[in-house]
Structure 1
Amino acid sequence: MLPAAAVAVAVAVAVAVAVAVAVGVAVGLPAAPALRHRLARAALLRVAGWQRRRLEVRGSEVRGSQERRLRRLLPAGAAPGSEAFRERHPLGQGCGDAEPAERGPPLRPWALLRGCWGTDPPLQGSLLYLDALHAAFPRALAPRSTALLSWAPAAPRAPAGWPLPTLYCTPHQARALPVRAAALRVQLLFALRARGLRALEAGLAAELHDAMAALHAGWPALAQDLALGRLSPQPGLPEETRGRLQALLAPDAARAAELRAECARGFEGIARRLWPQLEVVVVGTGHGAEQLYCDALRQADCKGLPFFCPFYRAAGALLGVNLWPEEPAPRFLLCPDWAFCEFLPCPAEEEPRTVLLGELWEGREYGLVLTARPGEYRCRVGEVLRVSGFHKQCPVVQPVRRESQALSVRGEGIPEERFCRSLCRAVGMWPGARLVDYVCVESDLLGSSSGACAPHYEVFVELRGLRDLSEGQRYKLDQCLQEDFPLYKSFRFKGSIGPLRLHLVGAGAFARLREEVGSPLPMPRVLRDPRLLRLIQSTVIS
C-alpha cells in the first residue's frame, strides 16, 4: 500500500514542479513568481505529508529501520546484523565538535521523486520541517516572508526550507561574504526592507543575536541606506558584490522613517515592532552553547515570539527533527532512517556496552555513538542526550551537554551547562549586571603567562550594566562553584586547584571571537586554541 501511495505522490509532485518550472521560465508575466511559489509549495507540502506518514510507519519498527540503515553503510559482503557489526568494530575515538557545512542538493523533480522513498536525510529533514512549520504557522510559508541571517563563507549549509527558495527575501550572495559582520549587516538590511516578514531564520542563535546587536549600534546608518536605496561600502563587502546587491534595492523613505521611530523608542520587543506580522523565530542551533543567546533574545529583542529549533545535528550528520514548533524547549525525534545510533549509559560503566535506538529508557542520559557515513564506524560524538519520551518506538531526546566542553584541571569534570548555571547565579548577585557572553580557559593553555600557581580556571565575561568588577564580586563565582561542586571545593581547600580568575571584556569582543573561529559552529565555551585565547585576552578591560 505504501509504495502505491508513494508513486501517487511522486506523480503529483513531478507534475506540479514541472508546471512551476515552466511558469518560472516564462517572461513578461508579473504573477509568475507568486504562481511558481504556490505550485511548488503545494507540491512540497504534499510530499512532506507523505514523509510524515512514512516516519510514523518507520517509527513503529525502529529495530528493522536501524538494521536496514546499517546495511546501507557497510561494504558489500560484510556480516549482517548489528551484533556482528559491534563485535567486529570496537568503539571509535571522539569525533570532536567539528560540524562540516551541509548543502542541500539542487531541487529537481527527480530529486523529489527519489525523496519519496529514498533515505536522503537533508531532503527528508527539510520536508518534515516544512510540514511542521505549515501545521503551526501556515502563513509563514508565504513568498519572500522569511529573512535569513546566516554566515557561510565557504560551503554554505542549506537553510531549513531550501526546497522552497522563494520562501526567502535574502539574496544568496549575502551569505558567502568573506567577513561575518558584513554578511550579517547586509542580510539585516534586506530583512528591514520587508515589513511583511512572517519568520526570522538564523543558522545559529548567535547569528541572530549579533545581527540584533548590529541593529542596536548601527540603526541610523541602516535607516539612511533604506531611505536612499543604497548599500554603503564596508570592510568585507567586495565592490563587485556590493554593486550586484545594490541593484536589488530601491529607495524607501517611509520604511526608513519607521525604523528610526521604532529604534528611538528602545529595543525591547523591537522585532515585533519592526515586523508586525512576525510569527516565529527559527534557529538552526538554539540549544546547548547557543541557549544563552536564545534566552537573551527572548527577554529583549524578540520578546513574545516563539523560537523553533527544527533539527538535531551531531558531527556533521542530521539525526533528528523537532515536530513540536510551539513548545518552548526543543526536543528532537531521532529518525531511524538517517544514521545508525548507539548509546552509552551515563554515568559511564567500567566496561562500556552500548544499547541501541529501541532499547533506551525514558528519563535517562546517554552518550551518543554514531555511524553515519561508510567507513566511519562507531564514533563517540561527545554529546550527552536525555530521553524525554517516545513517539511510537522512536526516542524523543534533548541535548544536555558536550563532553568536550567540561572544565577539568584535576579530573573534577565540571559540565558545560552546570558551569553556566553557576555563572548566571553569580552574575545575579552583581546589582545591575546582565551576562552577555562568556568563555573559559584551563590554566595549562596559558603556559608561563599563568604564573607559578596551582592549576585553575580563567573566565572571560561580557556584561551589560556593569563596567568594572570588585575583588569581592570576582570571588562570588569561585564561591558559587564551590557550593555547586563539592569535588571542586575539596580541591580548592587542599590547594591543588587555585582560585578562579575572572576577566571582564569589552563590548563586541565575542562577536570578534566568533568571526575568528571562521566557520558557523556553536560557540566553544572552553577555549583550547591559543590563537582564540590571545584574541580574547586582547579585549580585557578589567
Structure 2
Amino acid sequence: MASPRSLTERADAYRLKVVRERDLILGALDDARAAQETVLDELLTANKETVFGREHGFSRIRDADGYRRAVPIRGHEEFSPWLERVHANEKRVLTGEEPMAFFASSGTTGAEKTVPVTKGFLQRCFLPFYFAGFGPLAEEHSGLLTRDDAVLNLWQDPHSRSGRTIGGKPHLGPSQLNYGKLGEDLAVGLGNRAPWSDLPDRFRDASPWERSYLRVRIAAEHDVRGLIAVNPAIAAALPYQLGVWTPRIIQEIHDGTLGGRAHRPPDPGRARVLARLAERNETLRPADLWPELELLLAWNTYVARLYLPALLEDYGAGTELLPAPIGSSEGPLAIPVRGLPAGGPLVVTSCFYEFVPADDALTPDAPTLLVHELRTGEEYHVVLSHRGGLYRCAIRDIVRVTGVYGATPVVEYASRAGTVSTAGERVRESHVLDALLGACAESRLAICNVMYRALPDGPAGHEAAIAFRSPPDRDTTGRFTRALDAGLRRTAPGYDAARRSGALAAPVVRPVAPERFFTEWRRRVETGERPPRVKDRLFQAAPDVWDRVTAPSHAPGPERAHEQNRAYGEDGTLG
C-alpha cells in the first residue's frame, strides 16, 4: 500500500479505512449466525491440508456440530506439540500459510504464549478489528488525526526490542508489531509517527520504564490532545510515574536534554511554568502537562471500573474516557460503538466463537453455546477459533453479555477464569468486583487498586488488600467490610451458603497505601516487562506479591504518595 503524500491525505485515508471496516462489521451483526458459518468455513478450507487439519478431519467437517465433535477444547499450552514443529520451521503444521511472526502474551496462566500470525490472519481477522476498534475515536475526535504529535500512544511501541522464537521468527506483543514494515501504512497507529515514537539509537536497550520516561519527557513539550493506554493500568500508573519523574522532567526541559544528553534547545520558560504547577499540586499531573487533553482510550471494565472514574480527575475535567476494543493475543473479541458505555458487539466476521457458562468446567468435551445462543446478563468462558492456527482455544477469560446489537450479543470483559474457594464457595472475580462496587457506593470510598485471595492461615476465609484513594478511618473500614460481605452473599451463592453454615469467616479488608500497588507495577516494568503486559489482577495468590504490597517498604515515590503513606502509617497499612 502506497503511503499517502501528506498528513491531511493520510488522516482522510485513515478515517475512511476505519469507517469502512467498522461498517462492514456492523453490517454483519444482523445475521451473526450466517457470519459465523462463513468464518468457520473459511478457516476449515484454508487449513484443511495442514498437519492439524488432517489429524482432525477438517475436510469432512460440514458445520459447527461436526467441528465440535472433531476438535476438543484446548488451552493454549496444549497446542505445544504442533507449535514446537512450527518453531522448528516445519511447514503447514497449524496453518496453510507460513507464519510471519508470533504474538506473545503471558496470559492468565503466566505461561508465555506463541500465537501464529499469518498474512491471512492479519488481513481477514485482526486488521479489520484493529481499524474498526478506533471508530468512535476517528469520528468523535477527528482532530487527533491531523497532527502526528496530537496523540501520546503509551500502548504501542513498535520500535521496542522484541524476541525471537527458536525458529528465528519475531516473537512480540500485538502492540509491538510494526505495520509499516508489513506494507500496512495506515495501520501504523495514532501517535506512532510522533517525535517520541522512535527514540534515538542510544536508547535502544533502555528498560521499558526508561523508555516510558523518555517518551513522556519528549511529549511534555508538545500539545498532546489524546492518550491511548488500552491497558487501564498504564493510565493509572502515569500520574504515579509523573510524581517520580517531575524533578527530572523539569530539569531536562530547562537544560534541553533527553536522558542526560543534548536533545533540543533549552526551554527555561516552559520549565518555570511546570515547576509552578508542580509546586501547587505537589507533583505534575497529566492535566498539567497537557491542559487541552480531550481523550483517554482504555478498557473500562474489570478492576478498572473501580478506579477510572476518580482517576480522570488527574487527566482534566475535559477528558473523555472512550472504551478500547476488546481482544487478546489469541484474537479479537469486540469493538466499541457509539452509545455503548463499555464493551461492544462480538466481531463475528473475524473469529468463530463458542462459549461455556462461567460456572461450568472448561473440559475438552464441555458443551458449548454459539453466538446466537447467548443470554443477556450471563457470563461465559470464551473459546475461539480463527484461520491463524487456533482451533477451539480456551483463552481463560470470561465475558458478560450486557445486551444485543442487531442480532449479535454485546459483551464486556468481566474477569479472568478461576475461583477462590476454601469451603466450597467457588467465588469468581466478577462476584468480588460487583460486591466491591456496592461497598464503595455504600461507604462512599473510592478504590485505586485491589487484590484478593483466600486467607493463607487460620480459619477459612478471604482477604482483600485495598488501596483507597483517601485513607479511611477504622469505622469506615468496618462499614466497607460489612458491605463487602453482604455483597458477596448476594452475588455468589456458594459464598452465602458457606457463610450461613459457619464454614467461612467474614472477609478481612487490609487498607494499604496506593503507592504500594504502583511500586509493584514499577518493579515489574523496571525488570523488563513492557507496560501493556503489566495488567490488573484481582485474584492474586503469590505470597511474595502480598508481602511487597502489604509489608513495610521504603521505595521512592512521589511526594503526594508519601503524604498519604503517613496517613496510613509506617508499614503502609492503616495506622
* AA aligned opposite 1:54: L
Partner of 2:66: 84
The answer as to 2:517 corresponding to 1:510 is yes
Q: CA separation in 1, counterparts of 2:62 and 2:74?
A: 20
Aligned to 1:484, which of 484, 487, 494?
487
Q: CA separation in 1, counterparts of 2:282 and 2:131?
A: 35
The answer as to 2:131 corresponding to 1:124 is no
Aligned to 1:230, which of 254, 257, 277?
257
Partner of 1:321: 335
Task: Note if contact 1:103-1:157 (Cα within 8 Å) is conserved in structure 2.
Answer: no
Task: Note if contact 2:21-2:129 (Cα within 8 Å) is conserved in structure 1.
Answer: no
Q: CA separation in 1, counterparts of 2:189 and 2:470?
A: 43
* AA aligned opposite 1:148: N
- Cα distance change of structure 1 residues 303 and 464 upon mapping to structure 2, 3 Å threshold: same
More off after superposition, 91-100 vs 208-217 = 91-100
Secondary structure class of the residue paired with 1:378:
strand
The answer as to 2:213 corresponding to 1:210 is no
Question: Could you list the per-position Cα deviations for residues 270-295 of structure 1 after superposition, in whole angstroms to 9, with x for gaps in the alignment?
Answer: 54454243221112x33212333422
Superposed CA RMSD: 3.9
1:439 Cα deviation (Å)?
1.0
Partner of 1:256: 271
Question: Could you list the per-position Cα deviations for residues 301-350 of structure 1 after superposition, in whole angstroms to 9, with x for gaps in the alignment?
Answer: 343311112311146322221122xx572221211222110123466599
- What pairs up with 1:4-83 in 2 under 5 angstroms? 14=1, 17-18=2-3, 20=5, 35=6, 37-74=7-44, 75-76=47-48, 77-83=59-65
**Contiguous gaps of at least 5 residues in structure 2:** 49-58, 78-106, 163-171, 178-186, 553-570
Partner of 2:507: 500
Partner of 2:174: 157
- What pairs up with 1:353-372 in 2 under 5 angstroms? 353-372=367-386
1:515 Cα deviation (Å)?
4.0
- What pairs up with 1:280-429 in 2 under 5 angstroms? 280-283=295-298, 285-314=299-328, 316-324=330-338, 327=339, 329-345=341-357, 348=360, 353-372=367-386, 376-404=390-418, 406-423=419-436
1:267 Cα deviation (Å)?
8.1
Task: Note if contact 2:125-2:351 (Cα within 8 Å) is conserved in structure 1.
Answer: no
* AA aligned opposite 2:348: P
Q: CA separation in 1, counterparts of 2:485 and 2:190?
A: 51
Partner of 1:188: 216
Aligned to 2:145, which of 125, 136, 141?
141
Task: Note if contact 2:22-2:128 (Cα within 8 Å) is conserved in structure 1.
Answer: no
Q: CA separation in 2, counterparts of 1:151 and 1:317?
A: 17
Question: Could you list the per-position Cα deviations for residues 490-524 of structure 1 after superposition, in whole angstroms to 9, with x for gaps in the alignment?
Answer: 53465432453443434522123224553514211
- Cα distance change of structure 1 residues 361 and 422 upon mapping to structure 2, 3 Å threshold: closer
Task: Note if contact 1:102-1:157 (Cα within 8 Å) is conserved in structure 2.
Answer: no
Partner of 1:200: 227
Q: CA separation in 1, counterparts of 2:63 and 2:540?
A: 40
* AA aligned opposite 2:273: E
1:42 Cα deviation (Å)?
2.8
1:219 Cα deviation (Å)?
2.5
Aligned-residue identity in percent: 18
* AA aligned opposite 2:503: S
Task: Note if contact 1:454-1:495 (Cα within 8 Å) is conserved in structure 2.
Answer: no
**Contiguous gaps of at least 5 residues in structure 1:** 1-13, 21-34, 234-242
Partner of 2:197: 171
> TM-score of the superposition, structure 2-length normalised?
0.71
More off after superposition, 298-307 vs 81-90 = 298-307
- Cα distance change of structure 1 residues 63 and 261 upon mapping to structure 2, 3 Å threshold: same
Secondary structure class of the residue paired with 1:508:
helix
> TM-score of the superposition, structure 1-length normalised?
0.75
Task: Note if contact 2:520-2:548 (Cα within 8 Å) is conserved in structure 1.
Answer: yes
Secondary structure class of the residue paired with 2:345:
strand
Structure showing greater relative contact order (alpha-carbon pairs closer than 8 Å, 6 or more residues apart): 2
Partner of 1:442: 454
